[in-house]
A and B are shown apart, each in its own frame.
Chain A
Amino acid sequence: MESSRGSLVAESLEALPLARSLAGPSGEVLGVAPGPIPEAEAARVPADRIRVIDPAAPPGASTAGAAFSLVEAAQDSNASLVLVVGSARGRELAGRVAARWDAGLATGVTEIRPGTQGWTVVRPVFGGRATQELALEGRKAVVALRPHAFSPGSAPSTPPVIEHRAAPTLPPLATGGGVSAEAPVEAGSGPSLAAASIVVSGGRGLRSAENFHLVEELARSLGAAVGASRAVTDAGWRPASYQVGQTGQSVSPQLYVAVGISGAIQHLTGMMSSRVIVAINSDAQAPIFRVSDYGIAGDLFAILPALTEEIRRVRGGPSAPASR
């Protein structure tokens, strides 16, 4: 499980119901929390037991310590499968755990089922342009899930039993014990790209940095994260951290809205595994429409304000100022 500021992140609540259903009625599910979590949250987790690692590692620490605790938990419970949250840190952690536990490993997984020996998993590759099915043929497997590929489940009828374990003390060389001066910085307003379930991205069609607020307002109305094509980050309209694509972030939200983006292959490589794709582009022949589910051929400067207004109306949020 992963937590942020002492609270379990949404992706953790996606992994546990899956673990529950894979374990079957006689199997056991052990949740491992990387630090203390509120009791009310623990009660909602569909696990038999939760092992809380205490104290939590400092935010800037390497995943070495977490990997140690997770392998220890897997060995103590004679586990056959370790499911890891598919966040950036989760993937790193999965690599360490599998190396340490000497297990099969797959990340970014969207489907998992028991195989003839071990597990069979499916995952998007090439940024969603293809899918790969792998057989993890050992007795031990580590699987990192793709965020938002599995639904969060309901709370169990009996809350899990909580147990505590001391965090390991590892040699500084293994942990980067010299890590200091961690200054957590908020990743701006709104959800960040990789974790968001809705992403709205803008491209060169916006014509200037000054117009980019149109994309941000639409994103705000949807509670979405904001992304951009490389044309936008290259031009310096927004920082490079906004870039989606081959050399930027890979995202796989439930809904991806591409505004004024032509659909170059390098952009598609970062967002093709989104569940539903919407494109707004004045050129009805733009390649982005070929990979989208819904398209509006039209001028974004007219469509975006109307769309933002409509979403605010439907969602009952505050309506836009009459003029800008």
Chain B
Amino acid sequence: MEIVVLIKPVPEAETRLRPDRGGAELDPAGVKFVLAGYDESAVEQALLLKESAPGTTIRAVSLGPLARSEEVLRAALALGVDHATSVEEPPGVAHDPVQVARMLAFVVSRYSYSLLLGGKQSGDEGSGCVPSAVAEFLGVPDFGSVTDLKWDPIAGRFTFRQSLERTVLSVEAPPPVMIGLQQAWNDPRTAKLPMILRSRKAPIDRVPRAEVEALLARHPRPAVRAVSFRLPPPRMGARMIEYSSPQDAARKLVRLLTEEAKVL
């Protein structure tokens, strides 16, 4: 089986967020971009499938400023991914999911794949729409919010569950298929030192910016432009309820939620 897994470089969870000078974007100064969240789960899922189906190869593809995407690709290589492709992101498209998907689909279509794996949503902006847009460009079906993904070698199908708001579906789908993974692997593997060392020297296939720019030039469209990046007004900290007994605390809280916050 050939798996392509899409990984987006995102700021580390602990990053202190602040707007840049112009106020339109996150200030990237000092921010570490990592493989995280659902994309880390997607890599773990790919490795588990590889272990269950011998002969499987995994290629990770990442679009971003080169230094960032190659950083997460090396992290994936160190975990056991076989091949890596970095796509250098042209300026000004980061917030346009359709253009991002167009570039990813363009690159992915060079490879043969029976499974495309991505995160249900990215760890930073969490749009949750790039995988389905990639699938639309490639003409393959897509399923999001997926857990319990397995390969059934006898039926030649993937089986998985799709965890939607009001129902959980058990689904079987033949390859090729795009999956947006929602599994929370709470214990994804960590890279071993020899693998980390090897990943530093591993080759990464590069798609130069000129190539994707030529693609976008064939599909000119108005931009999705970042206007502002703001931090919410600092929460003042909780209004602490003073109380004489648990019953008193409960009464006061329910009154506040009903009369002041109006959420009950």
Measured CB to CB, the residues of A under 8 A from B are 4, 9, 59-60, 62-64, 67, 87-89, 91-96, 98-100, 102-108, 117-118, 120, 125-139, 144, 171, 173-176, 178-187, 192, 194-195, 198, 222, 230, 233-234, 240-241, 243, 246-248, 250, 254-255, 265-266, 269, 272, 275-279, 284, 289-298, 302-303, 305-307, 309-311, 314
Contact = CB atoms under 8 A, between A and B. Distances in A.
Interface in B119-172: 120-121, 123-133, 135-137, 139-145, 147, 157, 161-172
Contacts of A99: 98, 101-102, 132-133, 136-137
Contacts of A103: 98
B38 A98 contact: no
Q: Which of A187, A306, A311 has the most CB of B within 10 A?
A: A306
Given A95-B136, A129-B17, A266-B13, A255 B129 contact: no
A178 B136 contact: no
Nearest to B101: A99
Contacts of A266: 13
Interface in B1-57: 11, 13-14, 17, 26, 36-38, 40-41
Contacts of B135: 62, 64, 96
B141 A62 contact: yes
Contacts of A284: 240
Contacts of B136: 64, 67, 95-96, 99-100
A284 B242 CA distance: 12
List of 9 A-B pairs having minimum Cβ-Cβ separation, nearest first: A176-B141, A95-B129, A295-B238, A138-B222, A62-B141, A95-B132, A306-B246, A195-B165, A95-B133
Given A99-B101, A127-B126, A309 B250 contact: yes
26 contacts: A4-B167, A60-B170, A88-B163, A92-B129, A92-B180, A95-B127, A95-B130, A96-B132, A96-B136, A96-B142, A99-B136, A104-B224, A105-B224, A108-B127, A133-B227, A134-B225, A135-B227, A181-B171, A185-B167, A265-B14, A276-B263, A290-B235, A292-B238, A303-B246, A306-B247, A310-B250
Contacts of A194: 165
Contacts, number: 321
B254 interface: yes
Contacts of B128: 88, 91-92, 95, 107-108
B249 interface: yes
B238 A276 contact: no
B239 interface: yes
A64 B140 CA distance: 9
B243 A88 contact: no
B126 to A, nearest CB: 6
Interface residues of B, number: 96
A243 B169 CA distance: 19
A187 B256 CA distance: 31
Nearest to B219: A102
Contacts of B251: 310
B169 A278 contact: no
Nearest to B188: A247
B125 A296 contact: no
B223 A291 contact: no
Given A88-B165, A247-B38, A137 B238 contact: no
B166 A187 contact: yes
Contacts of B261: 255, 276, 293-294
Nearest to A242: B184
B254 A182 contact: no
Interface in B229-264: 229-232, 235, 237-241, 243, 245-247, 249-251, 253-254, 256-258, 261, 263-264
